[in-house]
Amino acid sequence: MPASTAERPPQQPLWRQLSATAEVLQAVAAGRSATAAWGHAPTDLRPAAQALSSHALRHWGEAQALCSLLATRAPPPAAHALLCLTLALMLGDDAAAQQEGQQRRPLYAEHTLVNQAVEAARRGADTSAQAAFLNACLRRALREWPGLRARAALDPVARWNHPRWWVQQVQNDHPQHWQQILSAASQPPPMTLRVNSRWGTPVAYLQRLQAVGMQATQIGPQAVRLAEPCHVHLLPGFAEGDVSVQDAHAQLAARLLLGLDEQPAPDVQGWRVLDACAAPGGKAVHLLELADVRLLALDVDAERTHRVHDNLRRSTLQAQVVVADAAQPETWWDGEPFDAVLLDAPCTASGIVRRHPDVRWLRRAPDLVQLAAVQARLLAALWPLVKPGGRLLYCTCSVFRIEGAQQIKTFLSRNTDARWCPSPGHLLPGAVGPAEGLADNASRDGDGFFYALLQKIRV
């Protein structure tokens, strides 16, 4: 992310940036998250490792296909990561160039990139023996680039930069829109803010941004999208809780649960509300910004609940935060039913891969069934805690139907006291597909989400 000249650290040599980034990619190939790997990068190289690895992971399918065409035998892991990284950077920013009607825009001068990659290989303890091999592969890539890319594109993994099973699943789930969904997932995400309605309005905050030279647009009731991403500490009022970072579609959760866009809207003041999988706390804070509710924020991960506390403190709001498994109410529930329950269930995160591009390469097809079972267990455990006439909002940041509509249809078949109220359903990245229950001024260009609002029928 850009920073002011005074705060920007000295630019490190490109070969050092490549070395640090290749280590991140090697960690992802070994099954570890990129976020965790960024934390192990040297502090002065961390921003570069984050930016370059994110770009590479969005092009990882094609980069690996090109590597296979250039090397009949896969090199050792460290050299493979460095080679694929360099190829991904050689691919440049195809998507942005196509939108502007231009040719591919390389991120670096190609010969400079190749020279620096070879330098990184020579200096690496695990790659020095492959420096000549890497040099030969990259020089050949420069000579044969158009033909190599044409051959690589025959592989759907390279064409769409997602695992084969993922491509097939999206095709099956969204036959009319699968291409747009996969393409959108490989774009860098926008930076969207949520203005704290207790302290200000989007219009007023746009003026604050303009005063410090930042351009932005209002895209929802509280949503503001920046023209260019920036570090959060450069945002006016961020430290004081005036604004938070949250995707436009994620901002719908609190409004849907509280029924703020319904006619007539329910009187929610004093409601007892459960956020069942609360960490890192964005939706919990949003609920408190919108209404004076009694909120219980629950999460099974003790480490991640620290983020909930941090977000609450920054926003000067209060909630009861408990570390517990939402699927085991007998260990934490006091017996008083809830007016509303937010179940932002664990899922594949297939809807937010433009923000976390490593997810697509870390997930496996069996994860779908395993996570769907977790979601069903949470629904079954939490539904009895909703009072008659109360509501439960089920949501996942997923584009897969097994984690969305299929899950809810199965739940309704087993719970005759549940009614599926008008709600958005599947919101797909790339602003494609219909969506019910959205306010007219809600953005349709957010992350992939599924929303189902359920009401408990009074008997």
Give catalytic residues, as residue numbers.
397
Contacts of 310 (CB under 8 A, 6+ apart): 281
The whole-angstrom separation of Cα 271 and Cα 291 is 9
What is the sign of the dihedral through the CA atoms of 375, 381, 382 and 386?
A: positive
Q: Distance between alpha carbon 456 and the CA centroid of its chain, in Å? A: 31
H/E stretch holding 303 reads helix 302-315
Q: Which CA distances in Å does 312 have to 237, 279, 321?
A: 15, 11, 10
What is the sign of the dihedral through the CA atoms of 224, 100, 435 and 344?
A: negative
User: To 5 degrees, how large is the angle CA 294–CA 297–CA 301?
Assistant: 170
Q: Which CA distances in Å does 5 have to 2, 9, 13, 234, 443?
A: 9, 8, 18, 12, 33
The whole-angstrom separation of Cα 232 and Cα 10 is 20
Nearest residue to 21 via CA among 90, 83, 94: 83
ω into 189 cis (within 30 of 0)? no
The whole-angstrom separation of Cα 427 and Cα 451 is 8
CB 70 within 8 A of CB 86: no
3-state secondary structure of 24: helix
E-state strands within 115-165? none
Alpha helices in 71-109 (DSSP H): 77-91, 94-99
Place of tokens 């774009």: 187
3-state secondary structure of 299: strand
The whole-angstrom separation of Cα 43 and Cα 47 is 8
